[in-house]
Amino acid sequence: MSRAFHDRRLARLAATLCLASVVCGCSVVAPGSFAGSSAQHSATGHNPAPPAPGVLTVARPWHSGMPQLGIDLNWIGNSRDPDAWIRAKAVRIIDYAISLHANSIGLSFPFYTDGITSDRLYADKVKTPSPGHIAIFLSVARESHIRVTLRPILDEHILVQQNPIAWRGSIEPASVSAWFTSYQKLLLPYARVAESEHAATFVIGTELNSLEGAAEWPGLTDTIGSVYHGELMYDENFDSFQKHDTNLPVSHFGVDAYPRFQLPDSASVGELTQAWENWLGTHTSTVLHRTVLSEVGITATSGAYQLPGNWLGTRSATIVPKIQANWYAAVCKTFSADKLAGIYWWEVSFDADPLHPAQFLTDRLTFLDRPAQHEISSCFASLTAGENGNP
């Protein structure tokens, strides 16, 4: 990150925090988080709002036909944050995303259940960001002309506590109908915010393998579509994509891409690139050109090429940044060659400050302040330059 960006960011953040202290009546203490982004959804014809003072804007905002170049923001909420702090954090993370040449952000936030067989879903009062906080976030992002995808994701911690191999794709609700009724009630307030603040995409489900064939999807989709008129997407897990699964609830889909390659830590970028090309190459170019890699990430640990998303098993493992950086470099080469529709790198915590990242670097999946961050910046700069050369 350049010194000039550092200085501009500090000046903007200081001004925003001074305003926050006046609005909230609180002392100015550096916030422990950073937030997300959005842009208008293309189907509605909304014009981007003029940028607010101190908010960076994307040099070339996304439009239909351009690749979505994004980072994934993981927002575990903090209900104690007043509105002015949420805005300050939004400015901070959008500045960071733009410094990486991103034109998009995927905003993931958790919802919860009582267990593997539960048919009750709910927003946690502390950990799930409120629709009001999401609205602030989207409003700031719209000022910056950065595209946003909203991604509600079922938290897995209670599932893993009940069964170490359980995950969101293996739930077995006692009543599927009751599960969807609860899910619809949960999603509707966020879909309304996505509409009012012009989010580009709303993800109607993520990695829900065991429910992908449920008869309730069309009804849910129609209800959400009645209040949100942008793009509805479903994010499938990488194994479903590998099997050419077509049993998805909506026509637009993304892939949470964690393919497993039997390659050693010493694998070169070229070897990794070939593995990625082989994995994607089982699909036609027509499919690939509309495929969004909604999550691409890997733990920066030994053995990660075999299990790139092993966030549970590597919490105390030694961090090996080169393994992660080589993976990112290979994915960028493959993405560019296959001309996919979008890519979002997983992940950065909402609470991280990109200028003071140390406390967040125990996260083995994050690219924050690691060589992989440079790979993102170089990748997006190259892809953006290519777009600029093809108006």
Specify the 3-state DSSP secondary structure of 353.
Answer: strand
> Which two three-digit tokens encode residue 299?
């733990």
Structural domain tally of the chain? 1
User: For residue 245, how far is the Cα from the chain centroid?
Assistant: 22
Q: Look at residue 49 in the predicted model and tell me its pLDDT.
A: 52
- Which pairing describes strands 147-154 and 104-113: parallel, antiparallel, or unpaired? parallel
Q: Domain of 337?
A: 3-388
Q: Which residues of the chain have pLDDT under 70?
A: 1-54, 245, 387-391
- Kindly report, residue by residue over 306-318, the tens digit of the pLDDT: 999 998 889 899 9
Amino acid at 91: V
Q: Look at residue 307 in the predicted model and tell me its pLDDT.
A: 96
Whichever domain contains 117, its CATH number is: 3.20.20.80
pTM flag (> 0.85): yes
Helices and strands: H and E segment counts in the chain: 11, 9
Q: Max Cα separation, the chain?
A: 58
> Which has the closest alpha carbon to 35: 125, 148, 111?
148
Distances (CA, A) of 157 to 121, 312, 315: 14, 10, 14
Q: Look at residue 247 in the predicted model and tell me its pLDDT.
A: 78
Q: Look at residue 132 in the predicted model and tell me its pLDDT.
A: 96
Q: How far apart are the first and last CA of the chain?
A: 28
